[in-house]
Structure 1
């Protein structure tokens, strides 16, 4: 039972190396992501370092190391730097484009249903979601939100995998409460809309 539950969470996260890192099955990868994101957040948020300067300095340091490594290797008959092929495969571009296409089409479908189809319920959901994002974003800047996202991504999946039954019970209860409140708000909004729009919505 525990094994099937763990495999379900692992599969839900994609079932690959990313899932292993998020579930701390590759603890060195998880620690690297945690330490690296914390270092970058502190560097840019607290130390006030500039992103462009940081990227330029890192690239400059990398170029210097590779240049002197290659020069010393040719003088001392040592092996050259073990660099992979510097190219992006067509398969990678095709896969990334396909994922992007699915997301863009999904967003366009939602926009079409709101603007052309007049889907009031979907409009309320999207407006409420955007308002929540705007409200939360007013307390943090973008970098801090990204950092919090990384922390939650490394904390929530393993906790959910360990306490899935208890969390599912609480989530079902919270979902029922939110759904009942949402229906009340939704009905109150629909009542304020002219009757002929409500009739058209019901006919659709």
Structure 2
């Protein structure tokens, strides 16, 4: 019998004979069905509901932080089992080592804020993420992809060409941000009463 495209090997073998092939050929109907429903959900969110990628990630982050915060503080207050959060770290490659380090540091910082009992930093973090989500409403996913690709194609060259100016500008911005935070902390944040810590 003549097979499509003149193939001689089974389709499972052509697809790599691994887990991807099992999912594509519906060898495990539960996992394949979950992937199919997940893809449909993603399509619905971004195409039908017109959810933006930045807003989606921000809302997922906010929801996760709220769950971890309530669970962690509930565990201390009501003697529940505290959440066991696995440490998720991106594998570093030579090309993206610095980026991976920053993303890993950012994720660990968010987890530490969510697990802690400092309600002020927690609320400020949620507010900052929500502001980012609101800004993300005005940036569609294709536009975001375009901006990322343009930045990847231009920023390294511009940074190499004007490295000294960029370094001094970033240093100046860091100083200004630190001064603003210090002023806010002294005049507003430090005056907000904190929750009393539970003593064992």
Higher relative contact order, chain-length normalized (CA < 8 Å, sep 6+)? 1
TM-score (norm 2): 0.41
Structure with the largest fraction of helix = 1
Structure showing greater Rg: 1
